[in-house]
Structure 1
């Protein structure tokens, strides 16, 4: 028995409770008990030898069950999921999920080989706050480069409608983004996006129903607001023709930055991504940005916007927080905009 898997299950269940998904929390705890008792979860994970925490292993498995529900492959399980039954019970859900895993171990093994991609659209409000900090001093056009973009839903950040108790931004549209904003609001400014591009090592194609439902399966099934926001963002992305290039972020970014325009600003951005690439790849990404920053001019500045774990950005090893920050060149000036969590349920601006 792998104690790291048990520790990961316990931690992820705790986060699901904290982030308002009792269903996913209880499902993961049921998986943990099955693993300890030598059930089909144990058989499925017998040869899992990489870091379960880094792999988000519990969310891969939870996504597998949700996917079976979404594609209509498991009607009995679907009937007990939160989308069908408000008074769901894990005592009813788990035996059906367990039976599915026993019947289709190969399908489960194939599904969990892919890392979860939530493409959480609510993160756009954290990114927007950093973009607005930059736009407070830069009034020209902007070219956007997103790395680790998944299906590209956050490429359309400027087409979403943002509303908090203290500030708002954007015209009325199909995707409504809110959060519990604490502290000073960002400066409200116009942002003139001229070009946008994005890459991901394994982008999901939302025009393909199978891949779209795979992406949706990672949204926790007892959170209807997140699911509705996802559906609206997907519809908008299909309408606007969002495209994410399949590429290694370090190579793609180095190429894009070496050929960037000299008559506009460039913003490189990413959200809850940088902890996933291997250290060498992460260092290459940072090197590409720093090299481009050294070449930036007042006529063509560079901004680097991040929504990433504070443990990574500031070596705060025990911190559960995400940092929202923007670094600008010329000058390599870093500004922390605020702190939040992975779902951006609240922002604490500084």
Structure 2
């Protein structure tokens, strides 16, 4: 394919992805959606912003919209786009009042200037793995553990990011007619399903190719960048969970998942302890060889210990995640 044709294909792919994500955000995050929609138009027309974004390999990713918006959001969080921060707040207030088309346009123009003036920051954001690390995701892990019914658990997480799922027993969960977890926890979340039994997590560990340290302000800021500014409740939950993980000293090891899993899947001292391998929004990032390596490791380990797997994964990037619980015989 000629170079010109490749450029056109790249541009069309990127613009389409941005528009798709903008539609998904239209109701819950209208100003962010407007910025993404205008960004797609910018790519169609060409120019400095289009040249910058389309030069990056992420333009082909189905998650390009999330990465692009996170880059813009990070400029607001680290103080490098003060005009955008001010314009965004004004546009958000207007949108909440059912107004604001003109203020949203001004927010977009400020975003455009910020992108051009901070090209290196935007490209760095496009290099990062998407890490929409929400503590509420651990609610699906809790439901999986409840289905398994084991009183003592070793918990190993693949793609653990900052380890917020690993501390689910330090959160306070509220279901229909029940509560579970640390009664004094600052992280208080709604849950679905039956009342969990008493679960003791006797060991917890995780790995990630790009682990985040909850105690590192820069890492915490990157995690916040994946939440649109309009999603206040999600941001508050994340901030509370980051603060808690920092106090607990949670650390995630930097390692490929397959290699790390082979190292940690040794038989527990107490044979009654159930080993649980957990992952969410992780599987689709892997190659077929990496998935096969993990499957082979789990199958082999099941011969020497009680083992289960809990996952919350979409079939592909276009579908919603689903909870899956596997018990190895």
TM-score by length of 1: 0.83
**2:256 maps to which residue?**
248
**2:20 maps to which residue?**
11
Greater mean deviation of Cα atoms: 269-278 or 87-96: 87-96
For the 8 Å contact 1:142–1:194, the answer to whether it is kept is: yes
Distance in 2 (CA, whole Å) between partners of 1:84 and 1:7 is 24
Displacement, 1:105?
1.6
* 5+ long unaligned stretches in structure 2: 1-7, 96-102
Cα distance change of structure 1 residues 11 and 85 upon mapping to structure 2, 3 Å threshold: closer
Displacement, 1:9?
1.5
Distance in 2 (CA, whole Å) between partners of 1:261 and 1:270 is 24
**1:162 maps to which residue?**
173
Q: 1:100 aligns with which of 108, 111, 114?
A: 114
Cα distance change of structure 1 residues 51 and 97 upon mapping to structure 2, 3 Å threshold: closer
Displacement, 1:77?
1.0
Greater mean deviation of Cα atoms: 253-262 or 152-161: 253-262
Distance in 1 (CA, whole Å) between partners of 2:245 and 2:127 is 26
**2:319 maps to which residue?**
320
Cα distance change of structure 1 residues 228 and 257 upon mapping to structure 2, 3 Å threshold: same
**1:145 maps to which residue?**
156
**1:338 maps to which residue?**
none
Q: Aligned pairs, how many?
A: 311
Cα distance change of structure 1 residues 113 and 234 upon mapping to structure 2, 3 Å threshold: same
Cα distance change of structure 1 residues 207 and 50 upon mapping to structure 2, 3 Å threshold: closer
**2:275 maps to which residue?**
266
For the 8 Å contact 2:56–2:126, the answer to whether it is kept is: no
**What is the CA deviation profile of residues 54-106 of structure 1, one whole-angstrom value per residue up to 9, with x for unaligned ones?**
4x111111111111111112211111224995226321111111011112222
Distance in 1 (CA, whole Å) between partners of 2:178 and 2:313 is 23
Greater mean deviation of Cα atoms: 251-260 or 162-171: 162-171
For the 8 Å contact 1:82–1:222, the answer to whether it is kept is: no
Displacement, 1:132?
0.7
**1:307 maps to which residue?**
312
**What is the CA deviation profile of residues 170-213 of structure 1, one whole-angstrom value per residue up to 9, with x for unaligned ones?**
2332111125x4xxx33530101111111101101222211211
For the 8 Å contact 1:162–1:169, the answer to whether it is kept is: yes
Distance in 1 (CA, whole Å) between partners of 2:243 and 2:281 is 23
Displacement, 1:306?
0.3
Quick check: which one's helix share is greater? Answer: 2
* 5+ long unaligned stretches in structure 1: 331-350
**What is the CA deviation profile of residues 284-326 of structure 1, one whole-angstrom value per residue up to 9, with x for unaligned ones?**
1122112212333xxxx111000001x25xxxx9x72311121
Distance in 2 (CA, whole Å) between partners of 1:145 and 1:97 is 40
Distance in 2 (CA, whole Å) between partners of 1:51 and 1:78 is 25
Distance in 2 (CA, whole Å) between partners of 1:326 and 1:186 is 16
For the 8 Å contact 1:133–1:187, the answer to whether it is kept is: no
Distance in 2 (CA, whole Å) between partners of 1:320 and 1:127 is 19
Cα RMSD, aligned residues only: 2.2
For the 8 Å contact 1:40–1:101, the answer to whether it is kept is: no
Alignment pair present for 1:68 and 2:75: yes
Q: Secondary structure at the match of 1:79?
A: helix
Cα distance change of structure 1 residues 238 and 23 upon mapping to structure 2, 3 Å threshold: same
TM-score by length of 2: 0.88
Displacement, 1:152?
1.1
**2:44 maps to which residue?**
36
For the 8 Å contact 2:143–2:196, the answer to whether it is kept is: no
